[in-house]
């Protein structure tokens, strides 16, 4: 269980702790210091923030912290005594001689339970946004309000309670989202309040619900924290890339994440459905980067083949794997000459900005090391299925030797043109066992010395020109920023080339991170420099997936031992 008591009155501490409840891609999310992002909201559905928050009072004492253009209102933090996630958020407040325990639950409908200990008056004002997640509301005109027998409806949002509702339309002006201001995005908003719910009593319970109609599947809450985190990205037969702003399918992210989110947890049936659906999207050997028609990724289809190979190894399901043979063959054939890839000798050359490092600051046009490692692995897997590729795995493997950089004792990140900068993409090749042992152990030493941090691997060595130790946006995104998902491949590489080493301690900081930033989940990235502050999305599918996959693999090793 994740719990806090000390430090909650400190806004700087409370704003770094964010919770996220997910059901079928809809979510409720905020920080312990209130909404600090335009993406926060207690009911967010179909890409729209409907209910932004609840302004709550107990015996006249404000319980809801907030930030405004004119300054912060942190009275609510003074009344907050404790918070726990078990796994649902529970808040305990002390005010006016009474104690209030508030429990949030979310299954597509937000349910709030207020347990009052002692005598008190509870007042709750719903704050309505009703706008897209990437927008802010500057005017509250045009919102349609209708009374309900037990509450109020604003647009599609219905708020109901056993507290008495009094219409009292108001506008909360100049709400400030601090994190958006720091990120350089729109950060100021006006929120609409249709009225106030109010009730009083002694030692009693009140309830409040908010929904927007529609049918929902209750989220999976069984298992440990990482398993619960995994379920937040699984919506039907889709894997969402991250929260808050990547809550959509991406081809690359789907198949980097699938082995950890599904295979390591034994959910092979859903994995088969995802493979089958995406296999139908293959065009000219490529998978879409973002469905339905963005085929700009040079590696998504190769990640698909690698995930299928991992499925074949773990599930022992030859019938399904054989059914995918035409798709594997289509990938190999299409990669010879597609809009973003072409075969040059035995290796692949790709278009700029078509790998996971896709900003203008890391275009990587040419022959990237991890794309060609995936190419070698795809050829090997295809040959195991009796599929002939345009070149043999042996030819591609021998050509891969060109990536070796003797001067630095590791692998070029890119050749043709050569980029000798020390980057982590080489760990994909190491994880797949492609280089010979002598070169691999030297490369691992460089990675350990220059790239390894407690939370993953830096995307550029601090010794290189252009290194950025703080994540401040695209320029730093892949030029020093730490990415947790790479740690899974680093651990694989240790298991291949240094089997006497126990990698489990490498996962301890990320497991501890479950109580930081996005509570119960793992962030997208971290600063390259200590103290390695988390950044990007508060919950990223492949971050969670690779910790799950590595943990499962290490449990398997210990079990076999």
Question: Can you give the pLDDT at residue 317?
Answer: 81
Question: Can you give the pLDDT at residue 221?
Answer: 60
Question: Can you give the pLDDT at residue 555?
Answer: 83
Residue 218 domain-assigned (yes or no) = no
Residue 498 domain-assigned (yes or no) = yes
Domain end among 211, 238, 262: 211
Question: Can you give the pLDDT at residue 560?
Answer: 36
Contact assessment for residue 174 and residue 195, using Cβ atoms and an 8 Å cutoff: no
Question: Can you give the pLDDT at residue 24?
Answer: 86
Same domain? For 413 and 453 the reply is: yes
- Rounded to two decimals, the pTM is 0.92
415, with CB counted inside 10 A (0-12, 13-18, 19+), is buried
CATH code for the domain in which residue 57 is found:
2.70.98
Question: Can you give the pLDDT at residue 218?
Answer: 55
State the DSSP code for 374.
H
Same domain? For 283 and 144 the reply is: no
Phi and psi torsions of 102, nearest 5°: -110, 125
Residue 559 domain-assigned (yes or no) = no
Same domain? For 155 and 241 the reply is: no
Residue 500 domain-assigned (yes or no) = yes
Question: Can you give the pLDDT at residue 538?
Answer: 97
Q: Return d(Cα 222, Cα 8) in angstroms, integer.
A: 28
Same domain? For 203 and 269 the reply is: no
Same domain? For 161 and 100 the reply is: yes
Same domain? For 269 and 123 the reply is: no
Please give the residue range of the domain that contains residue 285.
225-554
Same domain? For 263 and 202 the reply is: no
Same domain? For 198 and 240 the reply is: no
Same domain? For 366 and 417 the reply is: yes
Residue 219 domain-assigned (yes or no) = no
Question: Can you give the pLDDT at residue 202?
Answer: 96
CATH code for the domain in which residue 540 is found:
1.50.10.10
Do you find a cis peptide bond into 292, omega within 30 degrees of 0? yes
Same domain? For 112 and 142 the reply is: yes
Contact assessment for residue 206 and residue 100, using Cβ atoms and an 8 Å cutoff: no
Q: Return d(Cα 102, Cα 47) in angstroms, integer.
A: 26
Residue 123 domain-assigned (yes or no) = yes
Residue 291 domain-assigned (yes or no) = yes
**3-state class of 181 per DSSP?**
helix
Q: Return d(Cα 312, Cα 464) in angstroms, integer.
A: 40
Phi and psi torsions of 459, nearest 5°: -85, -5
Domain end among 142, 176, 211: 211
Count of structural domains, the chain: 2
Which pair of tokens denotes residue 200? 């009083």
Contact assessment for residue 331 and residue 338, using Cβ atoms and an 8 Å cutoff: no
Question: Can you give the pLDDT at residue 220?
Answer: 57
Same domain? For 57 and 35 the reply is: yes
Domain end among 179, 211, 243: 211
Q: Return d(Cα 248, Cα 264) in angstroms, integer.
A: 22
Q: Return d(Cα 298, Cα 349) in angstroms, integer.
A: 9
- Encode burial over 99-131: b for 16+ CB neighbours within 10 A, e otherwise: ebbbbbbbbbbbbbbbebebebebbbbbbbbbb
Which pair of tokens denotes residue 502? 């126990």
Same domain? For 286 and 315 the reply is: yes
pLDDT along the chain (561 residues), means of 10: 89 94 94 96 96 97 94 90 91 95 96 97 98 95 94 97 97 96 94 97 97 66 83 95 95 98 95 97 96 96 98 87 97 95 98 97 98 98 97 98 98 97 98 98 98 98 97 96 98 96 95 94 98 96 98 69 30
Residue 220 domain-assigned (yes or no) = no
Which pair of tokens denotes residue 14? 């409370």
């Amino acid at each position: 269980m994740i719990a806090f008591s000390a430090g909650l009155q400190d806004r700087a501490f409370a704003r770094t702790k964010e919770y996220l409840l997910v059901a079928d891609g809809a979510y409720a999310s905020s920080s312990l210091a209130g909404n600090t992002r335009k993406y926060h909201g207690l009911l967010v559905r179909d890409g729209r923030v409907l209910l932004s928050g609840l302004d709550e009072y107990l015996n006249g004492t404000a319980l809801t912290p907030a930030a405004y253009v004119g300054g912060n209102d942190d009275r609510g933090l003074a009344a907050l005594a404790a918070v726990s996630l078990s796994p649902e958020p529970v808040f305990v407040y002390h005010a006016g001689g009474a104690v209030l325990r508030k429990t949030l639950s979310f299954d597509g409908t937000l349910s709030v339970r207020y347990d009052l200990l002692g005598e008190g008056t509870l007042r709750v004002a719903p704050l309505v946004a009703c706008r897209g997640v990437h927008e802010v509301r500057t005017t509250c005109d045009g919102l349609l309000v209708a009374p309900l027998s037990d509450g109020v409806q604003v647009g599609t949002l219905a708020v109901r309670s056993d507290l008495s509702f009094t219409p009292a339309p108001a506008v909360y002006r100049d709400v400030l989202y601090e994190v958006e201001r720091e990120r350089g995005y729109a950060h100021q908003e006006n929120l609409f309040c249709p009225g106030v719910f109010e009730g009083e009593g002694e030692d009693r319970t009140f309830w409040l619900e908010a929904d927007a109609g529609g049918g929902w599947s209750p989220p999976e809450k069984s298992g440990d924290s990482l398993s619960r985190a995994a379920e937040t990205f699984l919506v039907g037969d889709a894997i969402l890339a991250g929260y808050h702003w990547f809550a959509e399918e991406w081809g690359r992210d789907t198949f980097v994440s699938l082995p950890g989110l599904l295979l390591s947890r034994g959910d092979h049936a859903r994995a088969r459905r995802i493979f089958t659906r995406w296999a139908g999207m293959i065009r000219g050997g490529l998978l879409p980067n973002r469905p339905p028609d963005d085929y700009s990724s040079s590696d998504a289809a190769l990640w698909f083949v690698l995930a299928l190979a991992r499925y074949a190894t773990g599930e022992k399901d030859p019938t399904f794997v054989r059914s995918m043979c035409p798709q594997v063959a289509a990938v190999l054939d299409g990669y010879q000459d597609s809009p973003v890839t072409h075969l040059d000798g035995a290796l692949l050359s790709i278009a700029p900005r078509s790998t996971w490092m896709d900003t203008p600051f890391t275009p990587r046009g040419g022959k990237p090391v991890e794309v060609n490692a995936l190419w070698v692995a795809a050829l090997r897997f295809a040959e195991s299925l009796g599929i002939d590729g345009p070149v043999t795995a042996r030819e591609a493997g021998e050509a891969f030797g060109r990536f070796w950089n003797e001067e630095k004792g590791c692998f070029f990140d890119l050749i043709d043109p050569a980029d000798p900068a020390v980057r982590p993409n080489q760990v994909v090749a190491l994880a797949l066992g492609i280089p010979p042992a002598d070169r691999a152990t030297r490369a691992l030493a460089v990675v350990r010395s220059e790239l390894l941090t407690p939370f993953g691997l830096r995307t550029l060595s601090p010794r290189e020109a252009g290194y950025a130790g703080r994540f401040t946006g695209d320029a730093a995104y892949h030029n020093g920023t730490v990415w947790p998902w790479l740690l899974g491949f680093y651990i694989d590489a240790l298991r291949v080339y240094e089997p006497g080493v126990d990698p489990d301690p490498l996962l301890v900081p990320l497991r501890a991170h479950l109580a930081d930033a996005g509570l119960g989940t793992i962030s997208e990235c971290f600063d390259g420099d200590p103290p390695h502050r988390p950044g990007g999305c508060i919950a990223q599918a492949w971050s969670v997936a690779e910790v799950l996959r590595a943990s499962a693999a290490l449990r398997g090793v210990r079990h076999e031992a």
